[in-house]
Each structure stands twice: as structure tokens, then as C-alpha cells.
Amino acid sequence: MFKKDLKVYAAFLILLFVSFSSYAAQDPLPSWNEGPIKQKLIQFVNEVTDKNSSHYVVPEDRVATFDNDGTMWVEQPLYTQYIFALDRVAKMAPQHPEWKTEQPFASVLAKDYSKLSEQDFEKIFITTQTGMSVEDYKSLAQQWLQVAENTRFQKHYTQLVYLPMLEAMNYLRQNNFRVYIVSGGGQDFIRSFAPQIYQVPLENIIGAAIHTQYTYKNDQPQLIKIPKVVIIDDKSGKPEGINLFIGKKPIIAFGNSDGDRQMLEWTQSNGGEHLMLLVHHDDAAREYAYGAQSKIGTFSDSLMTEANTKGWQVISMKNDWKTIFSFEHAGN
């Protein structure tokens, strides 16, 4: 059922792009307000794709990387995968009576999340998202995404994607960029929805990953997720993941938080053409407003200083985006 619903919503997104096709000839980013950020993005693409320009970049080197949480979709009040993991604890609790007193599970069952540390979430992830096949995990994630809703918007998380970023992705693909997701979120979790929602192929999704073990079930081969980390694709792990899976530095990178700092630095160090952009959540009325004080999607003062010093583009949700969510065009 989830696949059917996801295909319907993905089809809507495709039709949405088609509906803009005639307008896009003059304006490839219709959900962006006119301003220096939009102009800079269009100018960059025009320059690197013009064979007569001194800034021309051959198609095989046009690599674009996008963070996911807070860059492509809503990350408040918690990262979506965090919420999925917490829900998994509640679902698994009847088989684990010891969790009533064992931390951090006791706090999760009491819905007291305030004191959960990063280490606590790591333990929760390992416990709730390993010991199963990759296919079973994907099915669980898709089933959950079908029913789970953001508490503020009462929308499924796959509806809370940013239309301006979908347009940016589509615009880059139309200009022969290879688009990648490079996220601190779980690679298998993102792979459960991103190909349909973002039109990004599975092999172009890089995220935090754990080991899998090849085994057999009913004489059929399976890959079982085991509790051993392969890569933490966050902060310095992002350039490491880019090098491991892509083998080339991006020429354009989008992020939104301190976790993306090194990816943008890596992009700027490529020695050629580059453009670095950060989404700044400053629209409490239409989405959320948060920054240096937030534990989720922290946009520190030092990151803002680095962005201003190095010429990175800071996208204001409030000022630069005419429309935020794709569902706003669906009329529901």
C-alpha cells in the first residue's frame, strides 16, 4: 500500500514540475523569490554549462551534493529517523519487559526524551534497526512513513519536502549534473523513500551506514544488518563518504547546519568552480525558526561567520522562498 501511495505523491511532484515547464523556460526556479541567491545559483549553472565560458565544467565533473535533514525536508522537532527509532522501541517493548527499567528504553517508553543523549540514540538505533534483512528494514521504514505525521503540520514526512530544493535538484539534473544525497541520516532509511520523492537513484544516496552480513534464509541469500558502524556520514565523515563513494569533489553543495560545514569546505577546496549554499531556518510562521541554540540542525554563530567570510550563500527561508512545501500546490 505504501508503494502505491508513494508513487501517487511522486507522480504529483513530477506533474508539478511539468506544469511549470513553460514558465521554467524563463524561470527554472519558480518557487524562489527574485534576489541575489536565486541569481547566483542560475548564474553559476549558466557559466559551468556554457562551452564558451572560461568557467565551463565538463558534465562528468558536475557533481552536486545535498544534505537531507533540514535541507530537503523538515527536521523539527526531531530528525525523522529519530522519531522512527523511538516508535520502534514502543513497538518492540512487549518482547522486552526488561526495558521498563533499563535505560535509555525506560525513558523512551515514558516519553521522556529530554535527557536522551547522542549515545542513547546510538544505542536505540542499534537495538531497533539491526538484526533484520535490508529488505525487511526497508519495508518497516516504508510502512512507518505511510502513517507517521509531523506533529505540527499533520502531514506525512514525505509531504514535508521543500519545493524550492526539489526545483534546484531538477534544474541541476536538466543541466547534466549528477545529484547525490550526502546525509548524516541512515543510508537505508533514506533509500526507502528518496528515489521516489527526490528522483535520486539508490546508488547516489550516501548516508550513515552499518555493516551487513551475507547469510541464507530458506536457502535464499540475505544481507542482515549487524550492529557495527561502517561510516558516520556527518561533519568530517561527509567528505570521507564523498571520496569513498563518488571519488570526486562536488562543485556545488547544499547544507543547513554545522554537520554540513566540512562538506562545503571540501567543495570550496576543489580548485575550480564551486558554489556552497546553506539553508537558514528563519521562518517560524511557515516552518520553523532555529539556529545556534538548537540541538537539532544547529546553525552556529561560527558557521555563519565562516559562511560570510568565505562567500557561501545563506538561503533565507523567509526571504528567498516564495513557497516552502510541495503539498501547498496540492491544495491539501
pLDDT tier for residue 25 given thresholds of 50, 70 and 90: low
> What is the reported pLDDT for 332?
45
User: What's the average model confidence in pLDDT over 219-229?
Assistant: 95
User: What's the average model confidence in pLDDT over 16-21?
Assistant: 53
- Report yes or no on 53 lying in a domain: yes
- Report yes or no on 136 lying in a domain: no
| DSSP H or E segment with residue 54 | none
First to last CA, the chain: 20
> What is the reported pLDDT for 3?
59
- Report yes or no on 135 lying in a domain: no
Q: What is the CATH number of the domain that holds 294?
A: 3.40.50.1000
- Report yes or no on 130 lying in a domain: no
- Report yes or no on 138 lying in a domain: no
Whole domain around residue 40: which residue ranges?
Answer: 2-77+154-209+231-329
Using DSSP's 3-state secondary structure scheme, residue 205 falls into: strand
Give pLDDT tens digits for 136-177.
999 999 999 999 999 999 999 999 999 999 999 999 999 999
pTM of the model: 0.92
pLDDT tier for residue 16 given thresholds of 50, 70 and 90: low
CB 250 within 8 A of CB 233: no
Q: Measured between alpha carbons, how far is 182 from 187 in angstroms, rounded to an integer?
A: 9
| Assigned C-alpha cell, 193 | 523513500
- Report yes or no on 318 lying in a domain: yes
Higher-confidence residue: 12 or 51? 51
CB 183 within 8 A of CB 231: no
pLDDT of residue 24 exceeding 70, the answer is no
Q: Measured between alpha carbons, how far is 76 from 329 in angstroms, rounded to an integer?
A: 22
> What is the reported pLDDT for 196?
96
Pairing of strands 252-255, 220-231: unpaired
Number of independent structural domains in the chain: 1
- Report yes or no on 118 lying in a domain: no
- Report yes or no on 91 lying in a domain: no
